[in-house]
């Protein structure tokens, strides 16, 4: 059973094993789904992370002892349900341009003395540190099906894990104060997807033409926690076509069941 602790006077945290792993994170999302399905009065929001789930509630509606008991009951059997396949099986294919210059949506933005057009400004650093050609870097980044752990900082800002530690390059010594929406940063076995213009200290490997966050969509974030991603390399021509269609809501990325053909691990 996970450990449940109070967080201030209107939230509690559900803590699972102290490690970053897909197995542990699936348990986090299994409990998150159970809480959503239970529709417990007084719960306002749940926030999943790598190994914890924070549950915000209104103490004037439900007291700590009561919500703790309800959450404990919902946690029972979470690990067993994950082992039985009670988790998301959806794969999203995300097209990515690995290097090359494209237009940015906000020409007035200031990207640390860089115009934001180059999709992989850390290309040379990655090749030098990993002792790989650029084609090998791309192959390494796209060879596995990846898992979406959670979203943080902003809707559409997703942390995605690879089943292998694919890169050894450390984070940048100095973070960039702003990078363009759609940019992918890498570190170890992790890839971060930036749904909006945000700061980032990771190494920038490419950019997706797909609009990851749109406040006018019913589902504002295209990428969902607990699901899967396959990164697909594309050409500059494809990037321009997809980005234009995506901005107008006319592009729908391919999705399928992980268990189906094409959903190989």
Per-residue model confidence as pLDDT tens digits over 217-259: 888 899 999 999 999 999 999 999 999 999 999 999 999 998 7
CA angle 16, 22, 28 (to 5 degrees): 40
Q: Judge whether 108 and 248 are in contact, CB under 8 Å.
A: no
- The two tokens of residue 135 are 């084609």
CA distance 210 to 213: 9
Give me the residues of the chain with pLDDT under 50, please. Answer: 263-265
> What is the structure's pLDDT at 265?
43
- The two tokens of residue 239 are 């990037």
Closest by CA position to 79, among listed 37, 145, 162, 16: 16
> What is the structure's pLDDT at 196?
92
List Cα–Cα distances, 37 to 30, 31, 33, 41, 74, in angstroms: 11, 10, 6, 12, 10
Reported pTM: 0.88
Per-domain residue ranges of the chain: 3-83, 90-257
The matching CATH number, chosen from 3.90.1150.10, 3.50.40.10, 3.40.50.2000, 2.40.100.10, for 90-257 is 2.40.100.10
CA distance 202 to 153: 15
What values do phi and psi take at 148, rounded to 5?
-90, 105
> What is the structure's pLDDT at 264?
46
Using CB atoms within 10 Å of the CB of residue 240, give its burial: 0 to 12 exposed, 13 to 18 middle, 19+ buried: middle
Q: Judge whether 233 and 138 are in contact, CB under 8 Å.
A: yes
Which residue's entry shows tokens 């906000």? 106
- 228-233 and 90-96 strand pairing: parallel
Closest by CA position to 47, among listed 98, 7, 89: 7
Which residue's entry shows tokens 């197995």? 23
> What is the structure's pLDDT at 111?
87
- Residue 182 C-beta-side C-alpha neighbours within 13 Å: 27
Contacts of 92 by beta carbon, 8 Å cutoff, 6+ apart? 222, 223, 227, 228, 229, 230, 253, 254, 255
Q: Judge whether 234 and 214 are in contact, CB under 8 Å.
A: no
Closest by CA position to 257, among listed 116, 61, 92, 64: 92
**At the topology level of CATH, where does 3-83 sit?**
Gyrase A; domain 2 (3.30.1360)
């Amino acid at each position: 059973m996970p450990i449940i602790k109070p967080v201030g006077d209107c939230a509690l945290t559900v803590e699972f094993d102290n490690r970053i792993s897909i197995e542990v994170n699936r348990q986090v999302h299994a409990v998150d789904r159970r809480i959503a399905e239970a529709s417990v009065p007084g719960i306002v929001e749940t926030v999943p992370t790598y190994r914890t789930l924070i549950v915000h509630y209104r103490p004037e509606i439900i007291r700590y002892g009561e919500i703790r008991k309800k959450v404990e009951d919902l946690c029972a059997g979470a690990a067993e349900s994950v082992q039985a396949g009670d988790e998301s099986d959806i794969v999203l294919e995300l097209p990515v341009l690995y290097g090359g210059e494209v237009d940015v949506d906000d020409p007035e933005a200031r990207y640390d003395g860089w115009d934001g057009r180059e999709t992989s400004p850390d290309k040379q650093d990655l090749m030098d540190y990993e002792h790989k050609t650029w084609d090998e870097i791309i192959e390494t980044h796209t060879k596995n099906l990846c898992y979406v752990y959670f979203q943080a900082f902003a809707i559409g800002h997703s942390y995605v894990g690879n089943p292998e530690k694919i890169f050894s390059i450390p984070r940048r010594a100095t973070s960039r104060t702003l990078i363009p929406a759609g940019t992918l940063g890498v570190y170890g076995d992790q890839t971060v997807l930036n749904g909006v213009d945000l700061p980032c200290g990771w190494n920038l490997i490419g950019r997706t033409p797909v609009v990851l966050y749109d406040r006018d969509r019913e589902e504002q974030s295209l990428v969902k926690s607990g699901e899967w991603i396959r990164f697909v390399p594309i050409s500059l021509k494809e990037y321009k076509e997809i980005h234009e269609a995506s901005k107008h809501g006319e592009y729908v990325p391919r999705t399928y069941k992980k268990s189906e053909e094409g959903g190989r691990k």
